[in-house]
Chain A
Amino acid sequence: MEQAAVSRSAPARVVPLWVVGAAFWLLVLLVVVARSTGLAENETVATFGVIFTSIVVEALPFVLLGAAASAAIAVWVPARVFARMGALPAPLQVPAAAVAGFAMPVCECGSVPVARRLILRGLRPSAGIAFMLAAPILNPIVLASTWVAYGAAGRALEMTAARAALGLAVAVLAGWLIGRSGESLLRERVEDDVEQHAAHGSAGRFVDHLASDFVFMGRFVVLGAAVAALLQTVAPQDALSSVADATVLGALALMALAVALSLCSEADAFVAVSFTAFPLGSQLAFLVLGPVVDAKLAVLYGATFRRRFVLLVLAIAVPVALVGALAFDAVVG
């Protein structure tokens, strides 16, 4: 880690404790002043603040679960396991990694640190990406919630199977196309080098990795939630319903909505089923694209992977989801 080496040689800026204390009381004063000036009564501020906080409160426990899984992989899974997996041919490794998402019952925020750790431990980047994109769709909780949500509409089997199949296709294709160059996709992190020496014992290293991943991922979830909340506060969504009858535009509109809403994949089916003005195929596109890329994830991807990763995922996922949606409407709808 070249960057880490630089960090050790250069003197780091040190913050005295009194500055932290002063910052804390400044923040308290800020809250008191904001409340006394009636900021909370401003409907734009209240709407943005409530949606923003809501997305973060929902996402961070999943980030914690993902960080715990990532830390467990780093500490307790022997290197030889990854050496064996890494030696598998790509045509086998990529779909196998995507299907392995079935065993990862966390939503999209939790799968990013796990995928990052898998790549760091020696899995092919293409396989790591396929796992990361597939896990939030293929995991049993998400499939069960899709089944239940569409059960009342009598479309449980079709929608659940189509979501799983299309999600798997997007994950494998994106993993294969983005990771085929073989070059490293991950951004370097200063913490990666230093943290390994900070604690002793496997339990200590586990907590160290967990804390590092949580704090790193958490701040980007916060930024992504701010973007999603801003979109929901300033952009009227009813404009989308004017294209509900148009097959292609309807699917694109619901995909745009999925990006803006940044919903958790474990509950998004209950929202999708309510878009009855849109064809089932458009609802399917919403369910496939949302867990793969949304406003919150885009920021998280940007912090974890190299430049253009988000654009590449969008460039692959949107056409595949669109074609899948149209095919679904032609066959089932």
Chain B
Amino acid sequence: MRLDRRSIRAIGLAAWGALFGWLWLSGESVRYLGPRTQWVVPLGAIGLTLAAAGYLRSTRDAPSNTARPLELAGLAALVVPILAAATLAHAQLGSLAASNKLSSRGIDPSALRLASRDASSVGFLQLNAAGRDSDLSRQLGLTTGKPVKLVGFVSSTPEGYRPFELSRFYITCCVADAVPVGVHVAKGAVRHLKLKRDDWLDVTGVLARGDREWIVRAIRVQHVNAPSNPYLSFAT
């Protein structure tokens, strides 16, 4: 039995159908796509599976054309992202991506369609946007001493007792457009805690006023596992 062109195409379609199916059923698609584009996952799973089955059925009696090395190379290229997804399962963007992404100087989170003005809870986006906007601070009820709770990763290397930056990525479409939004956390009562970049933390503290920003003065800091969906969305 030999591998022909039909098999190459069927393998390509079926492999991708399987990956989309896995992303869909396992919920792992949130590691790659934002809520606006989640619909492409079931579309890919169903569409590619049907295409693979239909293709094999429609060409079962057709004469076989043997595959050329170029087509095998094409199949290999198609398989690479599947291998990457399998190897990097549970991986997510971290401090390296946060340092590379266009952030504070190029992006103003307050200009996004953020839910800041009617947010029921205070998160990274609200604190970041309200730091430079006193009206927004008033609307959100942000005052010195207000208790807050944040879960995020350490995006800047904390040195000694100096405040460190806790961040989350916000995505719109896919991870390629992720925007890091960070809040400075003063170690306060937990100044002896050992931290390193990319540690995921659950921080409970109170708000304090910094230079054109809200700072969280930590009362309790706990190391936690990264959440199953490590990204937040501007839409939520």
Q: Beyond A15-B3, A197-B63, is A208–B175 a contact (Cβ under 8 Å)?
A: no
Assembly CA distance A306 to B67 (angstroms):
24
A27: contacting residue among B9, B83, B89, B101, CB under 8 A? B83
A51–chain B nearest beta-carbon distance, Å? 6
Task: Name B74's closest neighbour in chain A (CB-CB).
Answer: A219
Q: Which residues of A contact B65 (CB under 8 A)?
A: 12, 194, 198
B81 touches A13 (CB 8 A): no
A57 touches B81 (CB 8 A): yes
Q: Beyond A47-B93, A232-B100, is A238–B105 a contact (Cβ under 8 Å)?
A: yes
Q: Beyond A35-B87, A53-B85, A274-B108, is A236–B176 a contact (Cβ under 8 Å)?
A: no
B154–chain A nearest beta-carbon distance, Å? 13
Task: Name A262's closest neighbour in chain B (CB-CB).
Answer: B176
B40: contacting residue among A61, A68, A210, CB under 8 A? A61
Total residue contacts A-B, CB cutoff 8 A: 286
Q: Please report the total number of B residues contacting A with Cβ < 8 Å.
A: 90
Assembly CA distance A50 to B92 (angstroms):
6
Assembly CA distance A51 to B20 (angstroms):
16
Q: Which residues of B contact A197 (CB under 8 A)?
A: 62-63
Task: Name B114's closest neighbour in chain A (CB-CB).
Answer: A152
Q: Which residues of A contact B89 (CB under 8 A)?
A: 40
A14: contacting residue among B3, B55, B86, CB under 8 A? B3
Assembly CA distance A276 to B111 (angstroms):
7
Instruction: Give A residues with C-beta under 8 Å from B.
Output: 7, 12-17, 19-20, 27, 30-31, 34-35, 39-40, 43-47, 49-58, 60-62, 64-65, 68, 148-149, 151-153, 190-191, 194, 197-201, 203-205, 207-208, 210-212, 214-216, 218-219, 222-223, 225-226, 228-229, 232-238, 240-242, 244, 257, 261-264, 266-268, 270-271, 273-278
Instruction: Give B residues with C-beta under 8 Å from A.
Output: 1-3, 5-13, 16, 19-20, 23, 29, 31-34, 36-37, 40-41, 43-44, 47-48, 51-52, 54-55, 58-59, 61-63, 65-69, 71-75, 77-81, 83-97, 99-103, 105-109, 111-113, 172-177, 179, 198, 234
10 new A-B contacts, CB < 8 A, other than A15-B72, A60-B48, are A12-B65, A14-B2, A40-B91, A47-B96, A53-B32, A55-B174, A57-B19, A62-B40, A211-B12, A219-B77
